[in-house]
């Protein structure tokens, strides 16, 4: 029996230490990959594992609103890339001054170089108009498809596959490139493939676009806007952040001390 004072790490339902470290590694070492794709093919057995992980995502009312459109054709990838190029030029004009100049230096997709593209969609009418959990907030189905994206992204990282999410599209142009019918919403176009390396930090952080926010700055207690530095949780979070710095680019895993 688990004693009340036992650390959470010994909870009878917790994964083994090794398994927990693997989960946190997938989370902390996942990156959005744009530029390091290798031409190495992705075996179907690996692809099937990450797609199955995506299909096991949570979904509102269990409606499983997603489809997975796997793109391997170079001609189709080129069509998707053309759609990106149009939107990318438009996007640049939306930023001012230095930000525009920096935006134009960023590589924000790997559509043609990645061996596999996967478009994850949302069929908002899949199980009829009334869905448990979507009765009052209609966008919940869209969020469900995003959960599938994240499952795929993490499973792919565990498999050594890079994933890059590209969202710089006019939605209708992406639909046209992939023959997606009008009642289906494209949620994510993902570039997937093996990579030369994974970067330690988000590329936008390295490029000086934005820093990672300190977690305490986004943490409130009991009501919106209420901070409380005396909470034990805050001390823990500060320790985690200090360990992250001490570990260099490696964020702390379950047994952070052993990693530094
Ligand atoms: C909904 C959504 C949409 C996009 C992204 C992400 C998400 C969640 N990201 C990736 C994004 O820039 C990246 O996740 C952050 O910069 C953090 O970096 P890491 O993912 O931690 O490497 C992204 N990246 C990119 O190069 N082109 C893009 O169009 C998009 N679009």
190 and 218 part of one domain: no
Position in ligand 1 atom list of the atom nearest CA 34: 26
Q: Is residue 22 included in any domain, yes or no?
A: no
pLDDT given at position 7: 53
Q: Is residue 12 included in any domain, yes or no?
A: no
| Two structure tokens written together for 30 | 């996942």
Quick count: other Cβ atoms within 10 Å of Cβ 26? 16
pLDDT given at position 9: 53
CA 25/CA 204 separation, integer angstroms: 21
Q: Which domain holds residue 258?
A: 213-260
Model ipTM value = 0.99
pLDDT given at position 12: 94
**At 188, which helix (H) or strand (E)?**
strand 184-194
228 and 250 part of one domain: yes
CA 19/CA 153 separation, integer angstroms: 18
207 and 220 part of one domain: no
Q: Is residue 21 included in any domain, yes or no?
A: no
119 and 202 part of one domain: yes
Q: Is residue 15 included in any domain, yes or no?
A: no
- How many angstroms does the Cα of residue 204 sit away from the middle of ligand 1? 9
Q: Which of 176, 197, 212 is the last residue of a domain?
A: 212
Q: Is residue 38 included in any domain, yes or no?
A: yes
Beta bridge partners of 195: 37
168 and 257 part of one domain: no
Please indicate whether residue 34, judged by its CB atom, sits closer than 6 Å to ligand 1. Answer: yes
Backbone conformation region of residue 7, classed left if phi is above 0, alpha if psi is from -120 to 50, else beta: beta
CA 203/CA 231 separation, integer angstroms: 33
159 and 243 part of one domain: no
122 and 177 part of one domain: yes
pLDDT given at position 240: 78
Q: Is residue 247 included in any domain, yes or no?
A: yes
pLDDT given at position 245: 57
Please indicate whether residue 31, judged by its CB atom, sits closer than 6 Å to ligand 1. Answer: yes
CA 90/CA 79 separation, integer angstroms: 17
153 and 217 part of one domain: no
Q: Minimal CA–CA distance to 60: which of 154, 128, 153, 152?
A: 128
Please indicate whether residue 32, judged by its CB atom, sits closer than 6 Å to ligand 1. Answer: yes
Position in ligand 1 atom list of the atom nearest CA 107: 26
Please indicate whether residue 154, judged by its CB atom, sits closer than 6 Å to ligand 1. Answer: no
Per-residue pLDDT of the chain (260 residues; tens, 9 = 90+): 233 334 555 699 999 999 999 999 999 999 999 999 999 999 999 999 999 999 999 999 999 999 999 999 999 999 999 999 999 999 999 999 999 999 999 999 999 999 999 999 999 999 999 999 999 999 999 999 999 999 999 999 999 999 999 999 999 999 999 999 999 999 999 999 999 999 999 999 999 999 999 999 999 999 999 999 899 999 899 887 676 655 544 544 444 444 43
256 and 189 part of one domain: no
Q: Is residue 78 included in any domain, yes or no?
A: yes
User: For residues 79 and 143, is the Cβ–Cβ distance under 8 A?
Assistant: no
149 and 237 part of one domain: no
- How many angstroms does the Cα of residue 258 sit away from the middle of ligand 1? 30
User: For residues 115 and 40, is the Cβ–Cβ distance under 8 A?
Assistant: yes
102 and 167 part of one domain: yes
pLDDT given at position 3: 33
| Two structure tokens written together for 231 | 């909470």
Domain count, the chain: 2
Q: Is residue 36 included in any domain, yes or no?
A: yes
80 and 201 part of one domain: yes
Q: What is the CATH number of the domain that holds 88?
A: 3.40.109.10
């Amino acid at each position: 029996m688990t004693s009340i004072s036992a650390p959470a790490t010994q909870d009878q339902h917790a994964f083994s230490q090794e398994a927990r470290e693997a989960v946190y590694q997938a989370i902390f070492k996942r990156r959005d990959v744009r530029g390091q794709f290798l031409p190495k093919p992705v075996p179907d057995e690996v692809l099937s594992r990450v797609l199955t992980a995506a299909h096991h995502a949570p979904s509102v009312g269990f409606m499983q609103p997603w489809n997975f459109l796997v793109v391997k054709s170079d001609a189709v990838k080129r069509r998707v890339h053309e759609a990106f190029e149009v939107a990318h030029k438009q996007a640049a004009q939306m930023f001012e001054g230095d930000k525009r100049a920096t935006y134009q230096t960023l590589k924000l997709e790997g559509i043609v170089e990645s061996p596999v593209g996967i478009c994850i969609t949302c069929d908002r009418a899949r199980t009829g108009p009334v869905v448990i959990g979507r009765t009052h907030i209609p966008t919940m189905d869209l969020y469900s498809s995003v959960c599938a994206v994240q499952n795929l992204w993490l499973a792919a990282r565990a498999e050594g596959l890079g994933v890059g999410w590209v969202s710089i599209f006019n939605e209708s142009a992406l639909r046209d490139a992939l023959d997606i019918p009008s009642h289906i919403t494209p949620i994510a176009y993902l570039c997937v493939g093996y990579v030369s390396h994974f970067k330690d930090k988000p590329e936008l952080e390295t490029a000086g676009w934005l820093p990672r926010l300190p977690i305490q700055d986004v943490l409130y207690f009991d009501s919106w806007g209420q901070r409380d530095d005396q909470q034990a949780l805050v001390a823990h979070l500060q320790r985690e952040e200090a360990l992250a710095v001490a570990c260099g680019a490696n964020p702390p895993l379950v047994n952070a001390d052993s990693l530094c």
